[in-house]
Amino acid sequence: MQDHNASTTLRVQRSEPSAKAVSDAVAEATDALIRRQQADGHWVFELEADATIPSEYLLLHHILDEIDPELEAGLAAFIRGRQGKDGGWPLFFGGAMDISCSVKAYFALKAAGDSPDAPHMRRAREAILARGGAARCNVFTRILLAQFGQIPWRAVPAMPVEVMNLPPWSPFHISRISYWSRTVVVPLLVVMAHRLRARNPRGIGIAELFTEPPERVRNWHSNNSRGGWATLFRALDAALHAVEPRLPANGRQTAIDRAVRFVTERLNGEDGLGAIFPAMVNAVLMFHCLGVPPDHPDAATARRALRGLVIQQPGRIYCQPCLSPVWDTAIICNALLETGSPLARAAARRGADWLIDRQILDVEGDWAWQRPGLASGGWAFQYNNAHYPDTDDTAMVVMALQRLDAERYEEPIRRARDWIVGMQSRNGGWGAFDAENQHDFLNHIPFADHGALLDPPTSDVTARCVTMLARLGEGRDTVPTRRGLTFLEREQESDGAWFGRWGTNYVYGTWSALEALNAAGVPHSAVAVQRAAQWLLAHQRADGGWGEDGASYWVGNPRGEGPVSTASQTAWALLGLMAAGKGNHPAVDRGVEYLLSARDAEGLWSEEPFTAVGFPRVFYLKYHGYAASFPLWALARYRALRG
C-alpha cells in the first residue's frame, strides 16, 4: 500500500506553482466553460452510471415488443465496452463485478443477439456462476427476471399494492420512505399486482445463469441476517405471500387507483416521474399493465421522458439515469464567480437568471407531508421536478446568487433560505429531499435489500446548508447554523474525516464539512478542523493528487484511497485544505501542480473514475461536469489566497 503519511510531503523540496501558470489555467478553463454554456444561460453535462441503466432500457423494449434495432445495437455496444477484466460488470469504473448488474448486462446482450458461446458471454457466465448465479441477485433484478418468466414470482418479496391503503400513522407508508423510493415503488406496486409478463418476442431466457433450477430454490432472501428486524420481516414476508392472493378485490382496486393517481399527479411532463430513470420505466410499465394505449397522452408522455435520457451520438449510445442541469449550472456559477473575471461574472449572471426561473414557488411537494404549512422555495436537480426540490441544490444555487448580487436576488434567496431552515431535521442535520426520514427499521424489510429506502440527514448535505446560512450572515450564534454545526461535530469520524453520502466519499464529505466550518467562523485551530486537515494531508497520492473509489463504502476497505488520482477529488481536497487554513502548505502546491499537469486540450479536465454516488454499495455516478468545474474552483481560490 502506498505511504500516505503527511510527513513525506513535508520532506519534498517545495516547488511553488508559478502565478502565471495558475492564471493561464484559470483563464483557459473559464473560457472553455463559457463556450459550453447553453444559449439560454444554463449548463448541462452528461451523467453516466454503470451498465445497469442501459441494460434495463434495452430489456424494456423486449418487454413491450418495441425493439429499435439501431438503438439496441448502440446500447449493446456500450454494455460490452463496460465489461470488467473479471468477466462481470462493475458498479463503478475499475470496481469488482456486481452480480445483479452482471446478470442484467448478460441478459441484455443475449436479447440483443450476442451468442452465449461468444468469448465475452462465456467469461460473463463463468463469473456469474462462480458467485452463486442469478439466484443471488437483488430484489429489483429478480422482479425483472420474474417479468421474463425466468424465476417464479415467489422469489420476489411480497409488496402488495394494498400498502397504498395504509394510513399515514402505519409502520409502512409511502411518506416514510425517500422520494426516490416512493416514485420507484408506487408504479411498481401496480406492475407487481398484475404479475406483468414480458412479451419477449425473441423468446430469450438465461437458464444457464442459475446453479440450480429456479423453481427448486427455496431461500431467495438477500438478507439472511439473524438480527431481530430481519427475522421479523422475513416471517412477515412469508405471511404476506400466503395471504396476498386472498385479499379483497375491492381493496386491491382502490389501492391501484390510488397508485395511479399518485403517478399521474407527479408525471412531470416530459421530464418524467421523479425525473429519474427507474421511476420513469415503472410508470411506462404501469400504463402498459393497465392497458393504456401507447398513444394516450399520459403513456406517450412517459415514453418520451425516457427517450429524453438517451445520449445518441455517432458511435456512442447509452441511457443516463437522469439529467443534472440545475446542479451543473449552480456549481459552474460558483466556480466562475471564484475567478473574479468580468466575463466569468457575466456568464454566471446568465446562469443565475436561468436558475431563477426554475425556483419552485407554487407546488407543495411531498416534503410537505413532514413540513405542512412551510412555503416552498427550493430548486430541483433536473430541468423540472416540482414535487421534489432538494436542499443540496437549493443551497448551492443560493450561494451563487448571494455572491453574484444579493440585493438583486433578495426575494428568491429569502424564499429559499426559509425553506431550507424549515427542512432541518430534529437532530440538526438535513436530508436531501425530506425531513425526519429516519425510520431505520424499514431498511430491513426484504424488499429493501439495497439498504437505501430512506433519506436521513447526512454530513455533506448538512454542510452545504450550513455553508449557505453562514454566507447569508447567519453564523455560529444563530440557531439553525449552531444546530447544523453540532450535527457535523457528532458525525466526524474517529480518524478526522466525514462520510460523503452523495460524492465519493470521505474526500467529498471532509471537504464539504471543512467549507461549512470555515464559513461559520470555526477557528482553523479547532481540533475538528485540524484533524480533518491532517486526514486529507495523509491521503495525498505520490503524484500530488487525491483519488478515492467506490470500494471505500464497504466496511473494512481503505478510506480515501483508490487506484488513481482524479481532478474532481483533488479539487475537493484542495478546497478543504484551504478552508482549513492550509493554503500555504506544500501539499496544496503539489495538488495544484497535479491539476495544472492534468488539463486536456480544451483547458479543462476529464476523468474515467466515478466520483459520485446514487446509493452507496448499490449505484454510482459519473458527473462529466465535476472534472470540468471543480478544478477551476480550486485553482481560482488558490490564486486568490496567494495574491
Catalytic residue positions, numbered: 392
Please, are residues 507 and 533 in contact by the beta-carbon 8 Å criterion? Answer: no
Cα–Cα distance measured from residue 277 to residue 442, given in angstroms and rounded to the nearest whole number:
23
Backbone angles phi, psi at 610, to 5 degrees: -85, 130
3-class SS of residue 48: strand
Please, are residues 19 and 598 in contact by the beta-carbon 8 Å criterion? Answer: no
- HEC secondary structure over 427-481: CCCECCCCCCCCCHHHHHCHHHCCCCCCCCCEHHHHHHHHHHHHHCCCCCCCHHH
**How far are the Cα atoms of 472, 513, 578 from residue 467, in angstroms, in the given order?**
9, 9, 15
**How far are the Cα atoms of 125, 148, 211, 280 from residue 214, in angstroms, in the given order?**
16, 13, 9, 29
User: Greatest CA span in the chain, whole angstroms?
Assistant: 78
C-alpha cell recorded at residue 214: 429456479
Cα–Cα distance measured from residue 599 to residue 567, given in angstroms and rounded to the nearest whole number:
9
Please, are residues 285 and 62 in contact by the beta-carbon 8 Å criterion? Answer: no
3-class SS of residue 310: strand
3-class SS of residue 623: strand
Cα–Cα distance measured from residue 20 to residue 39, given in angstroms and rounded to the nearest whole number:
31
**How far are the Cα atoms of 42, 322, 366, 382, 449 from residue 274, in angstroms, in the given order?**
21, 9, 11, 9, 21
Cα–Cα distance measured from residue 149 to residue 142, given in angstroms and rounded to the nearest whole number:
10
Cα–Cα distance measured from residue 454 to residue 141, given in angstroms and rounded to the nearest whole number:
20
Cα–Cα distance measured from residue 239 to residue 77, given in angstroms and rounded to the nearest whole number:
44
**How far are the Cα atoms of 34, 114, 200, 376, 404 from residue 111, in angstroms, in the given order?**
42, 7, 9, 46, 52
3-class SS of residue 312: strand
Cα–Cα distance measured from residue 575 to residue 582, given in angstroms and rounded to the nearest whole number:
10
Cα–Cα distance measured from residue 108 to residue 319, given in angstroms and rounded to the nearest whole number:
14
Cα–Cα distance measured from residue 541 to residue 547, given in angstroms and rounded to the nearest whole number:
8
CA dihedral 430, 445, 160, 175 (to 10 degrees): -10
Backbone angles phi, psi at 546, to 5 degrees: -125, 150
